[in-house]
Amino acid sequence: MKNFTNKKAGHIDNIMAYLENNISNDLETRHLQSVGYVSRRQLYRDFYSATGHSLNEYKRKRQLSNALALIKNSEMPLVEIAYTSGFSSQQALCRAVKERIGLTPSEYKNSDIFYFFPIYSASNSNSIIVAVEQIPTTVCFRFYCQGFLNIENNAIKAMFEQIPQYKGRIFGYNGKQTENGFYYDLCLTDTNIKHLNGFIYRGIINGSATNFAVTSVKYNEKEINNSWNMLCNEWLPSSMFEASREPFFEEYLIRNKKPFKLKLYLPIEKRDNEMKITIIKKPDLRYAVVTAKGLNAEKKAAHKIIEYMYENRLKTNLIREYLVSIKNDEYTCGVRSIGDFNINDNDVLLFTTDDEHYVVLENTVIGDYNLYAEKLVDFARDNGINIEQDSIFAVYSAEANPIKPKMKMYVKARFGTI
């Protein structure tokens, strides 16, 4: 599969703008090809890699989002909404609404549920490939080190000192902290290697084919971190995928026995549930929270709330719901208040939701806080709902499924009744 490159990012922006301006029309692929100056095949590939959606699926979701906004906020007849939004008939619109959200248009209009599929925003500059990748069989060696800083470089350096003529592929798995330091796993495609000084032999890992989102980045710690953040917190939440249980890892591209590039492999699978927005009255939430400001505010707030939990002997394994709120240089971190434990620390406050309505965005894929906040604000603006932007906060819950936690973002709505 060809790559979606930065040089060609402009034609995706042009296609997006043209698609949005003509979302209700029966567009032919050749029209989009002429806008992007690309072949049909490249159009489909680039669009899929950039957005995580096929072109037709993206268009259908945007059409449905527009139609449901009109159903919720206007008195237009259904037949007129259907044609305005690009559906072939009223029946086609009703069928699409029922299939997507399980309600008829009239039931949807009178419910507190909102379907919202936002316009794609090309905020990232990285190349992304979405494809099934065949990962080869490798031999795994574990490298231990007292510090995590440069542990990857130290592992690769130690490897090449012992096998300087190595020409195979090198994969790395994120290391973890142990009682005696840190470790990092190197996996080599030359399975004849059985021993490396300073490493522990971990055995053979069989190859497999998995669906990945892949991007390449210069071998620079800041760029690597930014790329992982973009993949997991920006691209993934906006796509039709979620992270699968397969391991995610990095492949080192070597020049003169030193890494010069890194390929990031994020294992993905198509998700069943998409982003959902509802309006809730009196959500009745209760959290013990700490707020910190300035430099390292996030670290300070998180450290203090964890310290408080341990001091009060709260069972952390039972607390699987966490609150986060970010306002400029102020960071609030909290845990759900279980039972009636008393707050006896001046730095810890009790946060509760008051007798108000809240607009709630829910997603099974956790993403960037600011990205979701922007989507929530955009939704409220597009649907004519007045909100208090300073009241935004997010709740992360692993109660239902510890492996795949959910994210809900709340904002207070300024109206009395619905």
Mean pLDDT comparison of 14-18, 127-131, 350-354, highest-scoring range: 350-354
Cα separation, 134 vs 146, in Å, equals 34
pLDDT in tens, 65-76: 889 888 987 888
How many domains does one find in the chain?
3
Last residue of a domain, one of 114, 139, 169: 114
Asked if residue 158 has pLDDT above 60, the reply is yes
Q: What is the CATH number of the domain that holds 22?
A: 1.10.10.60
> Could you tell me which residues come within 8 angstroms of residue 331 by beta carbon, excluding any fewer than 6 positions away?
291, 292, 293, 297, 298, 300, 301, 324, 325
241 and 297 both lie in a single domain? no
The reported pLDDT for the residue numbered 8 is 46
Best CA proximity match to 5, nearest among 119, 124, 121, 120:
124
| Residues near 235 by beta carbon (within 8 Å), at least 6 away in sequence | 52, 124, 128, 213
What is d(CA 16, CA 125) in angstroms, rounded to the nearest whole number? Answer: 16
240, 143: one domain: yes
Task: Confirm whether 122 is domain-assigned.
Answer: no
Within this chain, do residues 251 and 315 fall inside the same structural domain, yes or no?
no
Q: What is the pLDDT, as a whole number, of residue 1?
A: 34
DSSP 224: H
- Asked if residues 133 and 214 have their Cβ atoms less than 8 Å apart, the reply is yes
* Whether 294 and 369 share a structural domain: yes
**189 and 226 housed in the same domain:** yes
Per-residue pLDDT at 104: 93
Same domain, 266 and 133: yes
Same domain, yes or no: 188 and 283 = no
Written as six digits, the tokens of 154 are 């130290």
Residue 202 sits in a domain whose CATH number is 3.20.80.10
**176 and 92 fall within a common domain:** no
Tell me whether residue 259 is in a domain.
Answer: yes
Clarify whether residues 142 and 88 are in a common domain.
no
Q: Of 241, 270, 299, which marks where a domain is finished?
A: 270
* Averaged pLDDT for residues 72-87: 87
Per the structure, the complete domain to which residue 148 belongs is given by 129-270
In a domain, 288, yes or no: yes
300 and 401, same domain (yes or no):
yes
- Which are the contacts of 164, defined by CB distance < 8 A and separation ≥ 6? 257
Quick one: how many helices (H) and strands (E) in the chain? 12, 18
Structure tokens given for 124: 């990232």
Residue 358 lies in a domain: yes
Average pLDDT, the chain: 81
Residues 137, 266: one domain?
Answer: yes
User: Is 360 buried (19+), middle (13-18) or exposed (0-12) by CB count in 10 A?
Assistant: buried
pTM recorded for the entire structure: 0.67
Tell me, yes or no, whether 375 and 262 share the same domain: no
Task: Please say if the pLDDT value at position 313 is more than 50.
Answer: yes
Is 139 contained in some domain? Answer: yes
Alpha-carbon distance of 195 to 173, in angstroms, equals: 19
Any idea which residue has 């819950």 for tokens?
397
> CA torsion sign, 332 to 122 to 51 to 96?
positive
